Structure 1
């Protein structure tokens, strides 16, 4: 039996190093603003480029304020009939670190404030949700959360799903990526021949998905998953898993490569990711070459929050009919890609957004204008 429910994004909000709200973030991306800072406090004897939010508050406190704004500006008065879906790779790890470094021991650490579902635990202290689910699949966490939201709305299980992708800066993650030798000491330059690595960042993306269409709704049309399981931390160099995820998303949306007007690439600025993703795009988009850019040179890589934040960017591309530039792309290494070097106005009906993670965990999402 074919289910005919559609899934619509009816509200979104965000904070990142690129801006304190979606409008600021999109403007920073389009204007190729310098938003990444150099920091020497996270990795011993090493400068790394990271993305910090400008508001000097705990990220969870900012999140609470934004949830209040959501209730004031949507058709929801409460969350009693809403499923909460969290995507995070850090969870409450930064809270644990803060207490450990302060007290020099673990005795005052609350396990409920450490785990991946620490965000939902925190929110449930103030709000009553129908239920909650937390995803932690590294850099695909909130992309998987969005895919799950689409599935439960399509099946008629829920009418309202609140998806939040969130990650704070953590010593554990920054030092972990440093140990892998993939951090850059300058703002990252995805797809550029002279790339140095990635920029870990913090932030969140909030999206309200519903089964009803509103005036400015964006439709979540397709979701594609794959797992190439090539290596613990590196994707398959030919992009086998990435290609499969994109094709699965097209199939799910009943679209072809000719329908996609823009690809928001995962584009972390690491050698392994750049080659794998671009090879996958070249392999799949043979005749039709949509514009491609990575926005992480401005937003940084917010890990588990990246899928949600880039879902918002993709939605704004559709709403504004504007394709953002790929900042820092000065010397192309892989040909055959229709890189977005400068921000341009363009007729775009569908956007494909990629999120790829350790272990070959891949998610592609397709967003479209409502008809």
Structure 2
């Protein structure tokens, strides 16, 4: 099919432990604010550091308010001509847990409020969408949702696509990562030699992609996928799948690797992920090395929402022309990487954002200023 259109990001919004909106999120990252908290309720007899949001409402209800805000600010009157794409790892699992822990049985559980498409089910109670689809590919869920949005816009299938990456904290996910022995009891320190694990977090990112360019548009220029299938939970140690995803994104964007100014790394703070990703970056970017940082020491790892939230961070980098630092990076383990140790103003034309998931499911996205 002939591709005639480009995919422009014309609106975005977010909430996370790092901020109530995208501006607060980016400020927290740039200023290296302490946003991760210690929790003793999720894992039995153990304190773990998590990225919880201080809120008095269900995350879905906050999401509904933000969708109302989107309609109020943008030129969309409703969502009747909009494809809704949800990227989520947890879905409605936390709602099921609440009911189970309350009465110790499943009789009151609504099966439509449990699965991954529980988010779209909730939103469709309030809005009419042209259609909807949900992605659940663990930590690449909303990155894959963005890739799909780019494809359907380019091919002229849709003019408006609303991508939402969202995950709430749940006992199942926190305890699951604890069982893998990858949770830290302090704020994670991606790429630091003394790192000891990740911080599970919650939040959402909303992005409106359209086929029309506006004054402050950011283009989703490229998407690259790969699947190395090295291990059920661990990436290939040499980063073969990660490297291939980045190469595919560059090819899709018709860019050279020297065009990339900054890499928003997946950078979870676990040994397996950091070692693999840094090896991939090192082997691909040999000459003109872009700045590299992970923002998860401020946002935590929001799982299925990470791709969308870090897409928004990438958009903020381009808009503000500021490259954020690696918070907590003191002693590097792998050389020949252009780590960003301090937040700096810099000319940025293109940002590459990585999302990697269990099973060797890898997605790289490239964002650029509209020229």
Counterpart contact for 1:20–1:55, Cα < 8 Å: no
What displacement does 1:55 show?
2.4
Counterpart contact for 2:2–2:155, Cα < 8 Å: no
Structure 1 consecutive aligned stretches of length 4 or more whose deviation exceeds 2 Å: none
Q: Specify the alignment match of 1:187 in structure 2.
A: 187
Q: Specify the alignment match of 1:318 in structure 2.
A: 318
Q: Specify the alignment match of 2:259 in structure 1.
A: 259
Q: Which runs of 5+ in 1 are unaligned?
A: none
What displacement does 1:113 show?
0.1
Q: CA RMSD in A?
A: 0.6
* Distance of 1:264 and 1:357 partners within structure 2: 16
* Distance of 2:192 and 2:58 partners within structure 1: 34
Counterpart contact for 2:146–2:308, Cα < 8 Å: yes
Q: Specify the alignment match of 1:91 in structure 2.
A: 91
- Mean Cα displacement is larger for which, 131-140 or 2-11? 2-11
* Distance of 2:226 and 2:102 partners within structure 1: 42
Counterpart contact for 1:20–1:54, Cα < 8 Å: no
* Distance of 1:54 and 1:41 partners within structure 2: 15
* Distance of 1:194 and 1:286 partners within structure 2: 26
- Secondary structure class of the residue paired with 1:335: coil
Q: Specify the alignment match of 2:74 in structure 1.
A: 74
Counterpart contact for 2:200–2:300, Cα < 8 Å: yes
Counterpart contact for 2:13–2:22, Cα < 8 Å: yes
* Distance of 1:288 and 1:361 partners within structure 2: 27
* Distance of 1:279 and 1:67 partners within structure 2: 39
* Distance of 2:119 and 2:206 partners within structure 1: 13
* Distance of 2:55 and 2:42 partners within structure 1: 19
What displacement does 1:2 show?
4.1
- Secondary structure class of the residue paired with 1:32: coil
| Residues 173-231 of structure 1 deviation map (CA, whole Å, 9 limit, x = unaligned) | 00000000000000000000000100000000000000000010000000000000000
Q: Specify the alignment match of 1:4 in structure 2.
A: 4
Give the TM-score normalised by structure 1: 0.99
Give the TM-score normalised by structure 2: 0.99
What displacement does 1:56 show?
2.2
Question: Is 1:16 paired with 2:19?
Answer: no
Q: Specify the alignment match of 2:347 in structure 1.
A: 347
Q: Which runs of 5+ in 2 are unaligned?
A: none
* Distance of 1:56 and 1:27 partners within structure 2: 23
What displacement does 1:70 show?
0.1
Q: Specify the alignment match of 1:215 in structure 2.
A: 215
Counterpart contact for 2:4–2:156, Cα < 8 Å: no
* Distance of 1:144 and 1:318 partners within structure 2: 21
* Distance of 2:50 and 2:21 partners within structure 1: 19
Counterpart contact for 2:49–2:184, Cα < 8 Å: yes
